[in-house]
Amino acid sequence: MRFLFLSFLRASAFNKQKQHATFVSGMTDASWVERAAVAALMASSLAITWRRVSAVVETIRGSRQTPDFEIAPLGPRIRRFLWDVVLQGKVIRERPLAGLAHAFVFWGFCAFALVTVNHIASAFGGRFLSPSGAFGHFYFGFVAVWAVLVAVSIAGLFVRRFLVRPKWLGKVSPESGVIAGLIFVLMVTYLSGLWFAEGSVSERLSWWLHTLALFAFLPLIPHTKHLHLALSPVTVFLKRAGFSRIPPLSGDEDFGLDTGKDVTRIDALQAFSCVECGRCSEHCPAYNTGKTLNPKEIILGLRDYLKQHGPGAEAPLVGAHISEEALFQCTTCGACEFQCPVGIQHLPMIVGLRRGAVNTGKWEDDFGTKLFLNLERNGNALGFAPSDRQKFIEKAALPIYDATQEYCLWLGCMGSYDPQGREIVLALARVLRHAGVTFGVLRKEKCTGDPARRLGNDLAVANVAEANIETLRAAGVGKMVSICPHCVRTIGEDWREYGAAFQIEHHSELLARIGERLPQSTGARENVVFHDPCYLGRYRNIYDEPRAVAGRTADVVNPGRSRERSFCCGAGGGQMFLGEEKGKRVNLERVEELVATGAQTIGTACPFCQTMFRDALGAAGGAAPPKLLDIAQLMAAALPEEPAQTA
Ligand code: SF4
Ligand code: SF4
């Protein structure tokens, strides 16, 4: 910072002494030949730039209108724009060093806008920033500070991209190097222009080098990934409301993203905004475990499709540019969408493309077919007879909801049929009874439709969702609570498409709220490493509540990847019900990380996560694997003994 401050002072002092330096005062003595050359170069540069920009704009405008798009409410859009674009908050928060370098380049460009216009205008006698004026005097020095910051930052980013080469950046394009070089030249020529003596050859050369770099830089922007400079502020502002929200279909003829005709303007805008930074790939559990899926390639695949076919084409989207295998490896964990600095929403696209393949019958997968049949015939994803659920409820003496209790306890497929899921339900029931919270369960429940929804089978979701909504309305259900973040998400958000608006929360939220009624241990405490479920953390923004609950009886520690950066267990997006995984199993990768913390217990808050971890612990747990407990089980274990209740 000291260096920058000295640069600033030096530039300011220089401006006072040499107010006629060409760069600062402008090339006011330009000959007619020079003016003609500048005009010709500028016209060519702008024409090439506009040709490409207009083609992109036409592709976006030519795509179909986004049916679910609403600009209101404006408040969150403006706040996001200020944080993500103006302050570059997301870029810096998620990758501090590279993010700060990127932010300096962005802010530097903003600062440079005025001197750049002044620079060109000066050649035609239209200079409006004068070094002799107070503002001009300050501004030229101010921009000099930014020039130093941008030059250092762009050099650092160049080294990272071309020498360090993190694997998630993928193939490095030569244009990136050219662009970085041009930006560096722009900064250096601005700074050198401040120092050369007035009227010297060096000064003139510096002015011209700056001008040539500028006119070469402009057309490269829309022809490369640097198009994001123009598009990403718009993309961030206009992105769909909600996180990883699956947009509703717009009628009986809408099957999802099948051909180019189905691509919406928002999809097209987002596809052209990708800066190829690879943040999505860096955090993707599928990409990190050697699968075909790379979320960046899905976005770039859509962009290439639009470049090749234009808007509204009839060619299938899945095929040459987008791999079907990759699409169906996604766990819908949302890490990509959470990380993307330019507002690209991967999940509406990935699930939209799955919809296009499933709703039109193009996707053929034995496991997927079995899952959909289970939902249709048995009403649950695990394929059990519904009477099994009834027997469990009776054996466990769970009260039936009759609208007099505070909560309807939604069991979900895992809580109804899976032995571990049932243990979590029983533990929660004990804790609620202990805390004096009244609850009841429904006599009948079907799957919420979560796996079918994420896999893109809209008919299967509609069937189970509508049956459940009828049951819940008939039972007069008010507030609901569930042990499963997937059920909470599907009931609370996805069912809105079917007209439902139930109030449902995850048990971690309820338990945290009634925390003072729960047991607390003050003696020797074990360590619990808490795994943030994707559908509770990133999807619902619940991070502190499960930690507060677990923290009543244990010391909570975090694995390397936690909270917003949590690494998926591998079950979501229907993966739990599909076949063998390619590459390393995602649950194994995560369990190794959890076990490496040395904690005595792995704390979970999702029955899917717990099942995935139990499978993986056999391979990664060692001779003395840690215990595996839901936060409800942690609480129940600290309660005084009561007559045993088993599944
Ligand atoms: S949602 Fe998760 S699994 Fe799917 S592409 Fe994004 S990061 Fe990868
Ligand atoms: S989709 Fe977003 S996070 Fe992924 S490479 Fe493109 S800009 Fe980066």
**Domain end among 207, 236, 265:** 236
In the reported structure, the alpha carbon of residue 280 is separated from the centroid of ligand 2 by a whole-number distance in angstroms of: 6
Residues 183 and 150: their CA atoms lie apart, in Å, by 8
Tens of pLDDT along 403-423? 999 999 999 999 999 999 999
* C-beta 299 within 6 A of ligand 2: yes
Q: Which of 25, 50, 26 is nearest to 38 (CA)?
A: 26
Which ligand 1 atom sits nearest the alpha carbon of residue 332? 1
Q: Which of 329, 346, 590 to mutate to test the pocket of ligand 1 (most atoms within 8 A of CB)?
A: 346
Is 572 a domain residue? Answer: yes
The single residue listed with the structure tokens 């006119």 is: 215
**Domain end among 184, 209, 236:** 236
Tens of pLDDT along 443-486? 999 999 999 999 999 999 999 999 999 999 999 999 999 999 99
Tens of pLDDT along 544-568? 999 999 999 999 999 999 999 999 9
Tell me, yes or no, whether 486 and 613 share the same domain.
Answer: no
- Pair 115, 145: CB distance under 8 Å: no
pLDDT of 322 > 90? The answer is yes
Is 91 a domain residue? Answer: yes
Tell me, yes or no, whether 86 and 132 share the same domain.
Answer: yes
Q: How confident is the model at residue 19 (pLDDT cuts 50, 70, 90)?
A: very low
Tell me, yes or no, whether 74 and 127 share the same domain.
Answer: yes
**Domain end among 236, 256, 271:** 236
The dihedral built from the CA positions of residue 246, 251, 252 and 254, taken in this order, carries a sign that is negative
Query: How many structural domains does the chain have?
Result: 4
Tell me, yes or no, whether 349 and 467 share the same domain.
Answer: no
Residues 537 and 543: their CA atoms lie apart, in Å, by 6
Is 539 a domain residue? Answer: yes
Q: Which of 283, 287, 336 to mutate to test the pocket of ligand 1 (most atoms within 8 A of CB)?
A: 336
Per DSSP, helices labelled H in 124-200 are 134-159, 174-195
Task: Report the share of the chain in percent with pLDDT over 90.
Answer: 83
Tell me, yes or no, whether 391 and 494 share the same domain.
Answer: yes
Is 365 a domain residue? Answer: no
Q: Which of 460, 438, 462 is nearest to 510 (CA)?
A: 438
Per DSSP, helices labelled H in 160-278 are 174-195, 201-223, 228-238, 265-273
pLDDT of 2 > 60? The answer is no
Residues 168 and 164: their CA atoms lie apart, in Å, by 12
Tell me, yes or no, whether 502 and 618 share the same domain.
Answer: no
Residues 55 and 400: their CA atoms lie apart, in Å, by 61
Domain of residue 346 covers 242-359
Tell me, yes or no, whether 355 and 500 share the same domain.
Answer: no
Residues 621 and 595: their CA atoms lie apart, in Å, by 7
Q: What is the CATH classification number for the domain harbouring 386?
A: 3.40.50
